[in-house]
Chains A and B, each alone.
Chain A
Amino acid sequence: MAEADESQGIPAPQGDTQLIDTDYEIGQDNLEGSVGPIGFDVHNPVFMVSALSIMAFVFYALALPEQASAVFGWLRPWLTSTFDWFFMSAADFFVLFCLFLIVSPWGKVRLGGKDAAPDYSYIGWFAMLFAAGMGIGLMFFGVLEPVYHMAISSPLGTPSPFDADGNIIPGNVDRAKAMGLAATIYHWGLHPWAIYAVVALALGLFSFNKGLPLTIRSAFYPIFGERIWGWTGHVIDILAVFATLFGLATSLGFGAQQANAGLNHVFGVPISITVQVILITIITGIALFSVLRGLDGGVKLLSEINMGIAAVLLLFVLLAGPTLAIFTDFGKGLWAYAKEIVPLSNPIGRTDDAYRDGWTAFYWAWWISWSPFVGMFIARVSRGRTVREFITCVLIIPSMVCVLWMAVFGGVAIDQVLSDPATSAVKAQVIDNYNPPLSLFAMLEGLPLSSITSVIAIVLVIVFFVTSSDSGSLVIDTITAGGKVDAPVPQRVFWATFEGAVAIVLLVGGGLSALQAMVISTGLPFTLVLLVMCWAILKGLRAEPR
Chain B
Amino acid sequence: MFTEIMVPVDLRHAEKLAKTLTIAADLAQKYGARITYVGVTANVPSSIARNPEDYHEKLVQFAASQAAMHRLETRAHMIVADDPAVDLNHKLSQAVQELRADLVVMASHLPNVGDYVWSSHGGLLASHSKASVFLVRA
Which A residues lie at the B interface, using CB under 8 A? 1-5, 7-8, 10-11, 13-14, 19, 25-28, 36-38, 119, 207-208, 211-214, 292-298, 380, 383, 474, 483-490
CB distance from A480 to the nearest CB of B (A): 14
- Pull 9 A–B residue pairs with CB atoms less than 8 Å apart, ordered by A: A3-B75, A5-B75, A10-B56, A27-B12, A213-B45, A294-B86, A295-B87, A485-B44, A485-B46
Q: A10-B56, A26-B47 known; A486 and B76 CB under 8 Å?
A: no
Q: When A and B form their complex, which 9 residue pairs have the shortest distance between CB atoms, in order from nearest? A: A37-B114, A294-B86, A211-B50, A295-B83, A2-B64, A27-B47, A2-B63, A294-B83, A486-B84
Residues of B within 8 A of A8 (CB): 77-80
Main secondary structure of the interface of B (DSSP, over half): mixed
Tell me if B80 and A11 are in contact (CB < 8 A). yes
Tell me if B47 and A119 are in contact (CB < 8 A). no
Q: A8-B77, A8-B78, A14-B53 known; A212 and B86 CB under 8 Å?
A: no
Residues of A within 8 A of B113 (CB): 36-37
Tell me if B114 and A485 are in contact (CB < 8 A). no
Is B42 interfacial (CB-CB < 8 Å)? yes
CB distance from A483 to the nearest CB of B (A): 7
Docked complex Cα distance between A383 and B43 (Å) = 9
Taking CB atoms and an 8 Å cut-off, the chain B residues in 9-58 that contact chain A are: 12, 36, 42-47, 50-53, 56
Known: A3-B63, A19-B50, A485-B42. 10 other contacts (CB 8 A): A1-B67, A3-B75, A8-B79, A10-B56, A10-B80, A11-B53, A37-B113, A211-B50, A212-B45, A292-B86
Main secondary structure of the interface of A (DSSP, over half): loop
Docked complex Cα distance between A474 and B44 (Å) = 14
Residues of A within 8 A of B83 (CB): 294-296, 474, 485
Docked complex Cα distance between A486 and B50 (Å) = 14
Tell me if B67 and A2 are in contact (CB < 8 A). yes
CB distance from B39 to the nearest CB of A (A): 10
Interface readout for B63-105 with A: 1 if CB under 8 Å, 0 if not? 1101100000111111110111111000000000011000000
Q: A5-B36, A10-B78, A10-B80 known; A36 and B114 CB under 8 Å?
A: yes
Residues of A within 8 A of B82 (CB): 294-296, 380
Q: A36-B113, A38-B114 known; A5 and B50 CB under 8 Å?
A: no
Is B60 interfacial (CB-CB < 8 Å)? yes
Q: A2-B66, A295-B83, A486-B84 known; A211 and B53 CB under 8 Å?
A: no
CB distance from B4 to the nearest CB of A (A): 11
CB distance from B12 to the nearest CB of A (A): 8
Q: A13-B53, A489-B85 known; A484 and B66 CB under 8 Å?
A: no
What residue of chain A has the Cβ atom nearest to residue B82's Cβ? A295
Is B112 interfacial (CB-CB < 8 Å)? yes
Tell me if B112 and A484 are in contact (CB < 8 A). no
Residues of B within 8 A of A36 (CB): 112-114
Interface readout for B108-130 with A: 1 if CB under 8 Å, 0 if not? 00001111001000000000000
Docked complex Cα distance between A13 and B51 (Å) = 11
Docked complex Cα distance between A296 and B78 (Å) = 19
Residues of A within 8 A of B74 (CB): 1-3
Docked complex Cα distance between A330 and B76 (Å) = 56
Residues of A within 8 A of B114 (CB): 36-38
Residues of B within 8 A of A3 (CB): 63, 74-76
Tell me if A214 and B75 are in contact (CB < 8 A). no
Tell me if A484 and B75 are in contact (CB < 8 A). no
Residues of B within 8 A of A10 (CB): 52-53, 56, 78, 80
Tell me if A294 and B87 are in contact (CB < 8 A). yes
Docked complex Cα distance between A296 and B85 (Å) = 12
Docked complex Cα distance between A166 and B58 (Å) = 73
Tell me if B80 and A487 are in contact (CB < 8 A). no
CB distance from B61 to the nearest CB of A (A): 8
Residues of A within 8 A of B118 (CB): 489-490
